[in-house]
Copies of this chain bind each other. A is one copy, B any other.
Amino acid sequence: MGHDHSATVAPDELSEPAVCAACAVRNSSLCGALSSEEIADLNGISRRKRLKPGQVHVIEGDVARDFANVTKGVAKLLRGAEDGRMQIVGLLLPSDFIGGTMRSDGAAVQEHYTIEAVSDLELCIFPRDGFQELLGRYPALERKLLERTLNELQLARDWMVLLGRKTARERVATFFLHVAEKMRNHGCHGAVGFDLPLGRGDIADHIGLTIETVSRQITQLRKDGIIDMKGARHIVSCDMDALSEASGF
């Protein structure tokens, strides 16, 4: 370590080894639970994976092979039917952990959701067995995973309220607030505005509406002066109080 141009760069985009010490999410991710010495163990078993927008990391129903951290980009966690119906059950941003199933008896488990890259995506992959073993060895790691999972659960339940009881306008407003918050944690924001990580179609699939309704509600929020946009994906400014008001309880 020490100089900033590696003599031999890893050429393969699928199995490049990870370098935890230089990881963008070293401290904000699960790994923050481990000391510099401990993290060497993780470093030993991890590798990088890069995906282009639209590429799929795992598919609903596959045998679950590994865990992962998102180190860069945005992905969506989704569940869908043969017909067009599709529900995005979560967004994955840098420092988010991937690996929703686990059985202490070590039996094989199925992936429950499909994970698809929305932007250029970079993952840090850990093989199942190795990672589970580390969870047993480092209680702080397991504790942090538990806390994260509890947070996700809370988020999912809040989303149930949105999907079960909110109006179209409230859903869009809530989504904007949610994104503003998530993005803020990752520095991807200007002083007043922020970028939408999803297109209209994905927003619709996340908040249980159609593209057209999402579009109409956004238009309305603009007419009401609650948000202002430059291009379809960049929110230039927004009156957070009014937005919060519009998001309903």
Residues of A at the B interface (CB closer than 8 Å) are: 77, 79-83, 85-87, 89-90, 100-104, 112-113, 136, 139, 142-147, 149-150, 152-154, 156-161, 163-165, 205, 207-208, 248-249
Contact = CB atoms under 8 A, between A and B. Distances in A.
A100 B150 contact: yes
A208 to B, nearest CB: 3
A198 to B, nearest CB: 15
A86 B139 contact: no
B160 A156 contact: yes
A157 B79 contact: yes
5 contacts: A81-B165, A87-B164, A102-B146, A104-B144, A112-B157
Contact of A104 (B86, B89, B147, B207): B147
Given A90-B157, A142-B143, 4 more contacts: A87-B165, A100-B150, A142-B146, A153-B156
A156 B90 CA distance: 11
Contacts of A87: 160-161, 164-165
Of A103, A142, A150, A154, the most chain B CB neighbours within 10 A belong to: A150
Contacts of A205: 164
A101 B154 contact: yes
A89 to B, nearest CB: 4
Given A113-B157, A146-B146, A157-B79, A164 B104 contact: no
Contacts of A150: 100-102, 149
Contacts of A208: 163-165
Nearest to A90: B157
Contacts of A113: 157
A215 to B, nearest CB: 18
Contacts of A90: 157
A235 B144 CA distance: 43
A57 B184 CA distance: 35
A145 to B, nearest CB: 6
Contacts of A207: 164
A248 B153 contact: no
Contacts of A89: 157, 160-161
A156 B136 CA distance: 26
A85 B100 CA distance: 31
